A and B are shown apart, each in its own frame.
Chain A
């Protein structure tokens, strides 16, 4: 695993290294249904999704939130993550390739710590935004 991001060396406006996922698969949506307990057939049964006017099954929004959680866990040790919020914006279909990016939005010193706010978003291969969000980190200042 790559080392975590060092916020002590970053400035507001800097981007974190983006994380690109493999294409979403129908099998993945079935697995996520089982893992999360979201058994809405819109996510697993093409016929039901087509009856609802969609071209086929769509991903569960929280799966895409899970992708962002994966990216955050590459950037920040779990214990420093204090808040994580997303707004679901668009539908994700099987075959979509989601990439997760983030920007350092606020950085304030708080005693021995840094309080960090990052803005994040997940987009597909066409640049369509699936969700936007933010997360807050409280981490020790790196004195090295």
Chain B
């Protein structure tokens, strides 16, 4: 059961360097060949200074490359094997480009216990705010993590 006294807890801010090759790798894995995200001259023709990151680029900011999920689950006493990913939300405030350095601030926003027919769950909402090297907040992410109790 998630430690409800930890609602509001924040991970130390961590950095994510945005890399062009990771955008290409993600696009290849998805099977998406949209040139706006892959070809700088095509992006410039649509008025972007460079290729913007695709809508789900930021997914990689939470997994093993940064360890953010693992670290916050440890802080909340949530065992990994009981965790399911319920929802994911991105709010786009500005664009993210290759070469950007994002400061990532993850907060445990809420933990709500829910009883269902198949047992009890903790619904854990994690919010992460991404601020670039120019101090502009470019994205807010919210992950709803389900812990089966």
The chain A residues found within 8 Å of chain B, CB to CB, are: 1, 21-22, 28, 31-32, 34-39, 61-63, 65-67, 69-70, 72-74, 77-79, 81-88
Contacts and interface: CB of A to CB of B under 8 A. Distances in A.
Contacts, number: 112
Contact of B35 (A1, A21, A77): A1
Main secondary structure of the interface of B (DSSP, over half): mixed
Interface in B34-85: 34-37, 46-48, 52, 54-56, 59-60, 63-66, 84-85
Given A66-B30, A67-B30, 5 more contacts: A28-B29, A31-B28, A37-B66, A61-B88, A84-B90
A11 to B, nearest CB: 25
B29 A63 contact: yes
Interface string B2-39: 00000000000000000000100110111110111100
B1 to A, nearest CB: 22
A131 to B, nearest CB: 9
Contacts of B100: none
Interface residues of B, number: 36
Interface of B: 22, 25-26, 28-32, 34-37, 46-48, 52, 54-56, 59-60, 63-66, 84-92, 95, 142
A61 B25 CA distance: 17
B59 A65 contact: yes
A72 B36 CA distance: 13
Given A36-B59, A74-B34, A84 B92 contact: yes
Contacts of A83: 89-92
A88 B83 CA distance: 13
Name the 10 nearest CB pairs between A and B, nearest first: A37-B63, A69-B55, A85-B89, A31-B29, A70-B32, A37-B65, A32-B29, A66-B30, A35-B29, A35-B25
A72 B37 CA distance: 13
Contacts of A66: 26, 29-30, 32, 54, 56, 59
B30 A32 contact: yes
Contacts of B31: 21-22, 28, 67, 70
